[in-house]
Structures are given as C-alpha cells and as structure tokens.
Amino acid sequence: MSSPDTIDNVLSQVDTGLDASLERLFALLRIKSISTDPAYAADCRKAADWIATELQGLGFDAAARPTPGHPVVVAHGPHQAGPHVLFYAHYDVQPVDPLHLWHTDPFEPQIVEKDGRKIIVARGASDDKGQMLTFIEACRAWKAATGALPIRVSLMLEGEEESGGKNLPPFMKENADELKADIALVCDTDMWDRQTPSITTMLRGLVADEIEIIAADKDLHSGMFGNAARNPNQLLAEIIASLRAPDGSVTLPGFYDDVAEISPELKAQWAGLGFDEKAFLGAVDLSQPAGEQSRSVLEQLWARPTCEINGMIGGYTGDGFKTVIPARASAKISFRLVSGQDPAKIRAAFRAHVEAMLPPDVSVKFTPHGGSPAITVPADGDFLRQALSGLTDEWGKQAVITGSGGSIPVVGEFKSILGLDTLLIGFAHVDDQIHSPNEKYDLESFHRGIRSWVRVLGALAQ
C-alpha cells in the first residue's frame, strides 16, 4: 500500500512543513504543564485541550478525558486496513527548579546552536513534548501528502507521567475495550547513539520490599548489654550480605530458575554495539562491574536480574557517637527482574529467606512497595521487524534492539490490562538534560524523528 514513492512524498511534506511543525511544538512547550504542582493544574488542562484540538484538526476523534487527576487525551483515527497501533506519550513536564541555572526561560523555547548542532531548549523539549510531536507531525504529513494515515492509529497521551501516574491504570481498565489495538508504540526513549536508531524490547521488572528487624523492645546501652543482646544492625547486615554470593550472583533459592539466556543472535548483536564498559563505569568514578562476574555489563544491566539495597538505617546516625544497641533496623530492598521471573514468587522467596535467618526472639515486619514483571517484546515479531526496517531506512544505519535496566510501568500495563506488546522507539539523547535545567532536544531528533515515524507507519502498513 505504501510505495517508496508515497513515502518520499510524505517525507517531502515533513521537510517543507518543518517550520510549521516547530511552531506547533513551541506553542505546546509554552504551556506550563507541570503535573506535580497543583498550581499548574489549569496549565495541564490547557495542554491536554491543545493536543486534542490539534488531533481533531487531523481528523481524529479526540478528546481530553477527565480522571481524578489530570486529563488523558484519547484519539482515534478512522478505521483503516492494516494493523491498529496505540501510540503513547505524555504531555506533562518536570518542575523547573532551580530556575537560576537555566540560561533561558524554560517556557520560552529557543533554537540555539551548540557544538555545531541546532538544539531546541525548553522544559519538555525532549521529555516528552518533542518526542510526542514527532509522531503527531508524522501523522499530519501522511494526511497532508496522501489524505489519510497508512494504518489505523489511536493515541493515549497522559498528563501524570512525571508525578506518579496513579490515575492511568484505572483509566486504562475502565476503557480497556476502547483502547484495544494490535501493538503499542511509546516515544519516550533514547537512540543508541547519534547515528544509530534503536528499539527497546526488554525492560526489567521490579519487586520492592521494606524490612524492619525488631529485637529488644527498647534501645539498649552497649556497655550494659553489648554481646548479650541481639543487635538488629548486625543481623540486618548479615541478611543483606547473604543475598549476594562472592561471584556477584543473587543467592535466593530459585532466583534464576525462570531466567532464560538471551538468544545467541541477540548476544551477538549486543556484542556488536561496541558498548564501552570502562567508559560507562568510569563516568561515575567506578571501574569494576559489581554483578555476576561471568556476564558482560550490558548483559548484567539488560538481561540479568539484580538485588539492590536502596536504603538502610539503624541506631544512631547523627554527629558524634552514641553507644546504643538499637531496638530496630530497617532496609529498603528491590529486585530488578527479567522476563520469566514472577514478582510474587521472588517476593515470597526473599521473605522466606529473611525469616529463616531470624533467631526466635527477633521479629520482622515487611512492607511491600510494588511489584511488576519484566517486559520482553518477542524479537522475531513482524511489527518489530517492520519498525526496525523503517528506522534503518531513515538513518542509513542498521537499527538495533536494546534492553533497558529500568522499568517503565505503562509498558507493563499495556501488557497486563490491554494484552499489548510495546515497541519503544525514541529519538532522545543521553545529553538531553531531562529533569534538569536547560533541557534540550536536538533539532535533528525532532526532524528525523518525524521522518522516522513516517517510515515506521509506512513499514507497518506492509
């Protein structure tokens, strides 16, 4: 359906329309949609309405839909042959403090030149308004050049990604029938590097638990009781230490039972990425990988589960010294999971392990802090193959498949609530300063991002 000629026409439309696309981006960037601060609730509403209006102008059935928090914009293009995609991005932005570190007004976007590249500077330029508009402007170009989109497109654009996003999952559940599609597309990630487009297909899951070890019923004096009384700091340290073997692996029984090895093809592709372990660790003043010694750093980060002690505290931690044996000590512990691992099973194994280490006169209190499974998009699917080919065509360099050590909750919700796999395609760069002063988006990211979506939509129509 989408011939090379057609694609070329749409791409020309992108190029000639770029200034107008930038004007629209600037209009959206000027809206102070800081979701975490109630003072900007009206601005969030304004941003949602602005987007809905734009989408209506492109022929979408679009509306800013109410939630207990900020609106969710939902838009549906006309029924159409080919697959049905559900595109996700978010219109809210981070606060701008500390304002004095900004070189320009964060809500008065500018194009400036830096290191020989043109960049768009504004809060939200990269995260996520710029990325969001690459998709919308690609739809606009298709419409302008051909009168229609090449496939069926719906959009779900939220306004609480930067502030916890508690209202989105219930909204998705309530509107699950309406939101069903064949695949989800998310534009909120980076390219591999300036030359290489990428699709993220593996996201680690997360189990977070807090444990509090309770020994004596009051703080004790270590002169009076030291040796005889159980010190919960010591016991907590022993529990934590027991979670990792000397080879860096996690010791919980069954922890790796459901962990699959990555395919030889993916392993080879990752090896070909030329990831610089020394540079990655050196950037934060480290030199030695801490995890499983038999695995590469990239594998440790993208394809292997981990156990991390995110916080621990017990006893006297102020200035000076107090010879106390505390009654309690606690830790916040999380497990990043990979595909196949069941969060409930991992949590149960962790708790059983802790309980087995307790002397009879010591108790533990567990407080769960959420759990979500890892996400893996099948690496041999048609959608993935088509999207990779679209990206490769645009950038002239083979698009790569990457993992991510982090968790993006909405991807889990697409799977669990809507049954959808997700393709994470983005054009941001690690130096975009998202969440920081002087956030920017490369003009090239915006322009070729739009072009990339034109090609991906065309490829998905094959």
- The contacts of residue 241 (CB under 8 Å, 6+ apart) are none
**Strands (DSSP E) found in 168-288:** 183-186, 198-203, 205-214, 220-221
Name the minimum Å distance from CB 210 to a second copy: 7
Which residues between 75 and 114 bind a second copy (CB under 8 A)? none
- The contacts of residue 9 (CB under 8 Å, 6+ apart) are 145, 146
Q: Which of 227, 247, 279, 396 binds a second copy (CB under 8 A)?
A: 227
If the CB atoms of residues 92 and 190 are measured against a second copy, the closer one turns out to be 190
Taking CB under 8 A as the binding criterion, the range among 102-110, 255-263, 318-326, 383-391 that sits at the site for a second copy is 318-326
With CB under 8 A, what is the number of residues at the site for a second copy? 80
Verify binding: residue 348, a second copy, rule CB under 8 A: no
Neighbouring-strand partners of residue 221: 324
If the CB atoms of residues 226 and 419 are measured against a second copy, the closer one turns out to be 226
Name the minimum Å distance from CB 205 to a second copy: 10
Verify binding: residue 292, a second copy, rule CB under 8 A: yes
If the CB atoms of residues 18 and 273 are measured against a second copy, the closer one turns out to be 273
Q: Which of 151, 236, 262, 443 binds a second copy (CB under 8 A)?
A: 236
Q: How far is CA 351 from the centre of its chain?
A: 28
Name the minimum Å distance from CB 49 to a second copy: 32
Verify binding: residue 254, a second copy, rule CB under 8 A: no
SS3 174: helix
Q: What is the DSSP string of 166-190?
A: TTHHHHHHHTHHHH--SEEEE---B
How far apart are the two ends of the chain, measured CA to CA in Å? Answer: 7
Taking CB under 8 A as the binding criterion, the range among 19-27, 79-87, 231-239, 391-399 that sits at the site for a second copy is 231-239
How distant, in Å, are the alpha carbons of 261, 315, 346 from that of 258?
A: 10, 38, 10
Name the minimum Å distance from CB 216 to a second copy: 4
Taking CB under 8 A as the binding criterion, the range among 68-76, 124-132, 288-296, 443-451 that sits at the site for a second copy is 288-296
Burial state string for 99-109 with b = 16 or more CB within 10 A and e = fewer than 16: eeebeeebbeb
The 8-class DSSP code of residue 93 comes to B
Alpha carbon distance 54, 143 (integer Å): 13
Verify binding: residue 208, a second copy, rule CB under 8 A: yes
Verify binding: residue 259, a second copy, rule CB under 8 A: no
If the CB atoms of residues 236 and 418 are measured against a second copy, the closer one turns out to be 236
Taking CB under 8 A as the binding criterion, the range among 59-67, 127-135, 142-150, 404-412 that sits at the site for a second copy is 404-412
If the CB atoms of residues 142 and 350 are measured against a second copy, the closer one turns out to be 350
Verify binding: residue 285, a second copy, rule CB under 8 A: yes
Verify binding: residue 329, a second copy, rule CB under 8 A: yes
Locate 7 and state its tokens.
């694609």
Burial of 278 (0-12, 13-18, 19+ CB in 10 A): exposed
Verify binding: residue 33, a second copy, rule CB under 8 A: no
Verify binding: residue 3, a second copy, rule CB under 8 A: no
Verify binding: residue 276, a second copy, rule CB under 8 A: no
How distant, in Å, are the alpha carbons of 2, 56, 157, 161, 234 from that of 153?
A: 16, 13, 13, 22, 57
